[in-house]
Amino acid sequence: MAKDIYSKVNTQNLEAICKKIDEQVGYEAKIILDKALKEKERALEEARLEVGRAKDKLLRELDKELEKMRQKFSSMLSMYRKRLILEEKNKLVGDILESVKQMEKGFHSSPDYAHFLEKSILEGVGIIDCNEIDIIYSFLDEDIIKEGFIKNIENLCRSRFSKNFSFQFQKSGFKDTGLIIQSRDARLIYDNRFLARFKRVYDDVCMELMREV
């Protein structure tokens, strides 16, 4: 009888202990499982954040590269456009200057050409500022540079500069319009031919034409 009671008591105690153990293990397992689930969620969230940061960084880098490419393309396009415009302007300026040269050739036979030579001589005499002056002219102008023309030049210079001059007119082989005015010792020279005048104002003329066109 005692053994049966003892056995029954031990069996009940064992079941209670086992139940207690199961409850304790289940509780601890739940804690561990909850913690593991939280760690998992935290890890997933961190991974998502990391992916998001990497994605944002990549997008920012791509945006920077695209902006650089856009600026480079825009700069190249602007330079190409300016080059085309400059080429067209240079061509137009060249055409205009060539037209001026052609007009100069026609001017040689103009009735106003003799008056132009007078003005050129007066201009050169004023610059040279010397009493003894040589005037070198083209052989193409020998029909103009005659005694009457020379006398008129002497009178004009005497009247304008209030002093007497000694002029020597020398025919030369150049074909350009205009003349060369120089001191008798050739130390002072004023080249008043068309090409010389043209060279003196070429840069200013080109800049002015560039602004206009």
CATH code at 142? Answer: 3.30.2320.30
Query: What is the span of the domain harbouring residue 151?
Result: 112-212
Q: Pairing mode, if any, of strands 166-172 and 178-183?
A: unpaired
Structure tokens at 100: 């001026």
Q: What is the pLDDT of residue 5?
A: 46
What is the pTM assigned to this prediction? 0.52
pLDDT, average across residues 17-40? 67
Q: Are residues 91 and 14 in the same domain?
A: yes
**pLDDT interval class at 2 (50, 70, 90):** very low
Q: In what order do the strands lie in the sheet with 189-193?
A: 166-172, 132-138, 178-183, 189-193
For the segment 35-74, what is each residue's pLDDT rounded down to a tens digit? 767 776 777 777 777 777 777 777 787 677 767 777 776 7
Mean pLDDT of all residues belonging to the chain = 77
Q: Are residues 77 and 173 in the same domain?
A: no
pLDDT, average across residues 79-105? 67
CB 141 within 8 A of CB 117: yes
Domain boundary among 59, 87, 107: 107
**pLDDT interval class at 9 (50, 70, 90):** very low
pLDDT, average across residues 14-30? 65
pLDDT-above-90 percentage for the chain: 27
